[in-house]
C-alpha cells in the first residue's frame, strides 16, 4: 500500500508526495498549474500515472484552494475520488467512534471497526489558508480500502499482467497414510493450486490434483512456462515450487511464502514469484 499526501497554502504552493512501504518518499512540486479547476498530471513509479484537481476555492474553503479530486490511471481508468468527501467521512467515523457506547450498530460504517479510511484531512490549526490531505492508494496491480480500490495494470499478449505473480496452495492430507499409493490414491496428498498475476487476477487453477510423492503437479496457466508444485512423503516435508529458473520451498522468505500447519485435514499457503 502507498500513501499520497496533497497540500496547498494561500491559494497556491501546491504539493504532493507519494510514499510506499519500504520505499523513499517521492515529492511532486512541479505543478503545471496550481489553480482552481486546473488538471495536474504526474507519473509515479509505484502507483502509475495520476492527476489532481482542486475543485473549490475561496469562500467554499474559507480561503485558498480545497476539495481536491484525485484520479489514478490504473484505478477505473482515472475514476475521480472526492478527497474532501472521503476525509469528511473519516472525521465522522472518528467522532462517532469516540462518542459511541454499547448500543451502536455494528453495521454502521462510521462505527464498524473493520472500516478503513481511504482519505483523511491533515489540516493544522491556526492557518485557514492551508489545506492538507492524505489518502491510501494501491500500487499498480494491487487493491486497498473498504471499496477495494482496484489498480489494474496493463496485460500482455498472453492475457496476464507480468511482474510479481502469486500462488495459493491447499494441501490435503492423505486419507490413508498406510495405503500403497501404487494401488490406492488415498495414500497420496492432493493439491488445489491457484495462480494470480500482478493484478491479483486468477490466471490458472487446478483442484484436487493427485500429488504423488516427489512428482510435480504441472499447473498450466496464461504464463509462458509451467508452474511446478511438488508434495513429498510426510506431513512435515516442505512443498516445493519451480517456475522457469526459479526454485524454492514453502518457507522461502525471498518468495514471501506463508504456509500454515495442517488443521482439519489440510493446510494453506501462499508464495510469490517473478513472472
CB 40 within 8 A of CB 31: yes
Distance in angstroms (rounded) separating the CA atoms of residues 86 and 7: 16
Q: List Cα–Cα distances, 238 to 103, 175, 189, 258, in angstroms.
A: 49, 19, 12, 12
Closest CA to 143 of 202, 87, 71, 199: 199
> What is the per-residue pLDDT for 218?
87
**pLDDT, tens digit, 9 for 90 and up, residues 116-162:** 568 888 875 556 668 899 888 888 888 776 556 778 888 899 999 99
Please compute the mean of the pLDDT values over residues 212-240 and round it to a whole number: 92
77: left (phi over 0), alpha (psi -120 to 50) or beta: left
Distance in angstroms (rounded) separating the CA atoms of residues 221 and 195: 8
Please compute the mean of the pLDDT values over residues 212-235 and round it to a whole number: 92
Please compute the mean of the pLDDT values over residues 205-218 and round it to a whole number: 91
Cell, residue 151: 489498480
Confidence of residue 255 (pLDDT cuts 50, 70, 90): very high
> What is the per-residue pLDDT for 93?
58
Distance in angstroms (rounded) separating the CA atoms of residues 272 and 252: 10
CB 20 within 8 A of CB 46: yes
CB 168 within 8 A of CB 227: no
> What is the per-residue pLDDT for 10?
84
Cell, residue 10: 494561500
Confidence of residue 102 (pLDDT cuts 50, 70, 90): very low
Instruction: Count other Cβ atoms within 10 Å, centred on residue 63.
Output: 16
Please compute the mean of the pLDDT values over residues 211-230 and round it to a whole number: 91
* 65-72 β-sheet, strand order: 40-44, 48-57, 65-72, 79-82
> What is the per-residue pLDDT for 151?
81
Q: What is the dihedral of CA 43, 44, 47, 53, to 10 degrees?
A: -50
* Model confidence at 267: pLDDT above 90: yes
Residues 6+ apart with CB under 8 A from 178: 187
> What is the per-residue pLDDT for 110?
35
Please compute the mean of the pLDDT values over residues 201-227 and round it to a whole number: 92
Please compute the mean of the pLDDT values over residues 205-231 and round it to a whole number: 92
Distance in angstroms (rounded) separating the CA atoms of residues 62 and 48: 33
Distance in angstroms (rounded) separating the CA atoms of residues 66 and 148: 25
> What is the per-residue pLDDT for 105?
45
Confidence of residue 114 (pLDDT cuts 50, 70, 90): very low
**pLDDT, tens digit, 9 for 90 and up, residues 27-47:** 999 898 999 999 999 999 999
**pLDDT, tens digit, 9 for 90 and up, residues 11-24:** 889 999 999 987 88
Three-state SS at 255: helix
Whole-angstrom Cα Rg for the chain: 25
Closest CA to 128 of 4, 5, 6, 11: 11
Distance in angstroms (rounded) separating the CA atoms of residues 46 and 19: 9
Residue 89 sits at φ, ψ, to 5 deg, of: -60, -40
Amino acid at each position: 500500500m502507498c500513501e499520497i499526501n496533497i497540500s496547498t497554502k494561500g491559494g497556491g504552493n501546491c504539493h504532493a508526495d507519494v510514499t510506499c512501504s519500504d520505499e523513499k518518499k517521492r515529492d511532486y512540486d512541479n505543478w503545471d498549474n496550481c489553480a482552481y479547476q486546473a488538471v495536474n498530471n504526474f507519473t509515479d513509479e509505484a502507483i502509475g500515472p495520476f492527476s489532481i484537481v482542486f475543485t473549490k476555492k475561496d469562500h467554499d474553503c474559507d480561503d485558498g484552494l480545497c476539495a481536491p479530486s484525485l484520479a489514478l490511471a490504473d484505478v477505473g481508468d482515472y475514476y475521480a475520488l472526492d478527497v474532501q468527501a472521503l476525509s469528511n467521512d473519516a472525521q465522522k467515523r472518528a467522532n462517532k467512534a469516540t462518542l459511541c457506547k454499547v448500543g451502536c450498530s455494528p453495521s454502521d460504517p462510521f462505527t464498524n471497526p473493520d472500516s478503513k479510511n481511504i482519505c483523511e484531512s491533515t489540516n493544522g490549526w491556526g492557518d485557514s489558508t492551508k489545506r492538507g490531505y492524505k489518502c491510501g492508494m494501491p500500487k499498480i496491480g494491487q487493491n486497498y480500502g473498504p471499496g477495494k480500490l482496484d489498480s489494474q495494470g496493463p496485460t500482455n499478449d498472453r492475457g496476464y499482467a507480468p511482474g510479481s505473480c502469486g500462488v495459493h496452495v491447499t494441501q490435503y492430507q492423505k486419507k490413508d497414510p498406510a495405503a500403497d499409493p501404487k494401488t490406492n490414491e488415498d495414500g497420496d496428498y492432493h493439491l488445489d493450486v491457484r495462480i494470480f498475476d500482478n493484478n491479483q487476477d486468477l490466471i490458472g487453477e487446478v483442484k484436487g490434483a493427485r500429488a504423488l510423492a516427489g512428482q510435480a503437479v504441472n499447473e498450466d496457466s496464461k504464463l509462458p512456462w509451467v508452474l511446478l508444485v511438488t508434495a513429498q512423503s510426510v506431513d512435515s516435508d516442505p512443498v516445493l515450487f519451480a517456475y522457469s529458473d526459479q526454485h524454492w520451498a514453502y518457507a522461502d522468505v525471498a518468495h514471501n511464502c506463508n504456509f500454515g500447519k495442517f488443521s482439519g485435514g489440510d493446510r494453506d499457503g501462499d508464495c510469490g514469484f517473478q513472472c
